[in-house]
Amino acid sequence: MISKTINNVHLKKILFLLHLFVYCLAPQLNCFSQVKKVDSMIPIPIVSNEVYKTVSQFFEYDKNISLDVNIIFKDKFEGNKKEKIIFTGINNSKVPAYLIIPNNGEDKHPIVFLVDGIFGSKERWLQDDSWPKGGLVAKALLNSGFAVMTLDAVYHGERSYENDFKRPPWPRTFPYKARQMFIQTAVEYRRAMDYISTRDEIDSSRIGFLGLSMGGVITFELTSIDSRIKTAVAGLTPVWKAPEFQPWLPSTYASRIRCNSFLMFMGNEDPVYTMKDAHQLFDLIPLTKKEFVEYNVKHEPPVEYAELVTEWFLKNL
């Protein structure tokens, strides 16, 4: 009897340690591969108009709150005018951003907003060898006459202090904190669009968005909610289906996209989704001018996508 009690205690300790191990490492593990087969059997959730009207209110904000823009410094990026800007976001946040304007002699420039994935930063859009191949993309766009702007998302980059300098919340581990991260970042990109409308060098009637992974989700959200966006590209966008993700799932917004054109590219080896799910998401987009590109990659964009997106914006922005 005593032996059985001791064994039970040991078993409980082992189970507790296993749970603790999984919990602590969850943000570092590739959780998607564990649920891929299960998820592929579940249809993409589509919400009613009533539900959409409710969740889309999360992306509204008080437009009479001052942006309090401060240009921290000015320098050059590949010979183009680069500014580091800080403006007021929501929840009294201060949002660091880079605005880069082509040095091509034109008075006004169309602009492409660049939205990185989770664990990213605005700096990655200046680095050729970063996960988004950001420097290659930014230089290609600038050489084609587009201004570019990118922000540090909440909990990312210079804003890691907002999460006690911890890694940003992994959605499968902290779904509700991640939900706030997605929504707040989307709203702060709306605030950035408010700001560029005050800049004489920017043609605010020609706004494009490029978002990857988490940035792809935000691109789906914003092209549904904000009519100022003319065209957009979303790459490697997660196709999640859990009910607790519903307020920010791309499928909640895909059928309400309002921009003129939309390019979606995905990787056929990406463990974040199945290609069946990717095509189902694409089919929800109610535009005649849309394209789907499939790359032989996992959850990382290939170098050649820089040319793809630049050509897309040249044709559509």
- The full set of domain ranges for the chain reads 1-30, 34-316
CATH of domain 34-316: 3.40.50.1820
Residue 248's identity, in one-letter code, is: W
Map tokens 């340690």 to a residue.
17
**Each residue's pLDDT tens digit, 106-150:** 999 999 999 999 888 999 999 999 999 999 999 999 999 999 999
Residue 93: both structure tokens together? 């946040």
Could you give the CA distance from residue 184 to residue 135 in angstroms, rounded to a whole number? 25
Q: Which two tokens mark 285?
A: 């987009």
Q: Mean pLDDT across the chain, nearest whole number?
A: 87
Q: What is the pLDDT of residues 66-93, one digit of tens each?
A: 999 999 999 999 999 999 999 999 988 9
Residue 36, pLDDT > 50, answer: no
